[in-house]
Amino acid sequence: MKITKSKNIILSNPETKTFLADAFYAETDKKLPLVIFVHGYKGYKDWGAWNLMAENFAEAGFFFVKFNFSHNGTTVDNPENFADLEAFGNNNYSKELSDLNFVIDHFAKDSKIDNQKIVLIGHSRGGGISIIKTCEDERINGLVTLASVDTLERFPTKEKFEEWKETGVYYVENGRTKQQMPHYYQFFEDFKNDEHRFDVERSMEMAKAHVLIIHGTSDESVSVKNAEHLHILNPTSELYLIENANHTFGAKEPWEEDDLPKDLKEVVEKCIEFVNTKIVID
């Protein structure tokens, strides 16, 4: 089976700016379910083992898309580095939801796609964005959260918040690159302007799609309690915990091995089983 890997497709969202997407799929006459991967905070489409994950989904019979949010700090010319910290600082939830909608619109029109079978897989903050989008968009039949947050109300402590409001910017160090990543105060203002829309708990309660919640019990960034809370909010969802798995399910940047890390392999196998059972056959 020939797998096509269409890398760095240029998408121009008039509401934000130009960004890149990848599509991995098997060459077949059959229309394929569309699976869209949504990266998290300080993430990007080529991070770690995401390319290997994409190949696995394509080999399993899905049209798999991953993309860079337009303001995630990468650029069209430099998609694997945070080359545009100004864009990163000007990111917000409205822009991310706009980009995700643009990606769905773009690929759902593809003749290779069965647009009655659309699934979002969101990692970390991308999980929160995916939950909101699933609530808003009836085209989405399936939702998988990977190490997802249960709220987007994640801001600095009171003391730092006052400083942020006063100066207009606060910085977070990227542990891997050691860059000082700016966050402009507009990020909080955007959240407050549309707080009801950005309510992950409400969205999870109202989501009508099939939902799978996956989390590692040793997640160092987002507590497993987030997953348990999401499951309580949507009792028809399936909760799948991976013992001792960390926030990225064993993957790291760079990932130089030919195979997926053990925990991420389990994640991918569980996702494929879930989509086949709940969306493809349903």
Helix or strand or coil: residue 152? coil
| Domains identified in the chain, total number | 1
Q: Convert the pLDDT of each residue in 123-152 to its tens digit.
A: 999 999 999 999 999 999 999 999 999 999
Section 253-259 average pLDDT? 98
Looking at residue 1, its pLDDT comes to 82
To which residue do tokens 């993430």 refer?
Answer: 43
Distance CA 163, CA 170 (A): 8
To which residue do tokens 């009655």 refer?
Answer: 116
CATH number, domain of 136, equals 3.40.50.1820
Secondary-structure percent of the chain, ordered helix, strand, coil, rounded to 5: 35, 25, 40
Looking at residue 282, its pLDDT comes to 62
Section 61-81 average pLDDT? 98
CA distances from 28 to 61, 273, 278 (A): 9, 21, 22
Q: Quick one: residue 28, left, alpha or beta (phi over 0 = left, psi -120 to 50 = alpha)?
A: beta
Q: Convert the pLDDT of each residue in 9-31 to its tens digit.
A: 999 999 999 999 999 999 999 99
Q: Convert the pLDDT of each residue in 183-201 to its tens digit.
A: 999 999 999 999 999 999 9
The boundaries of the domain holding residue 79 are: 3-280
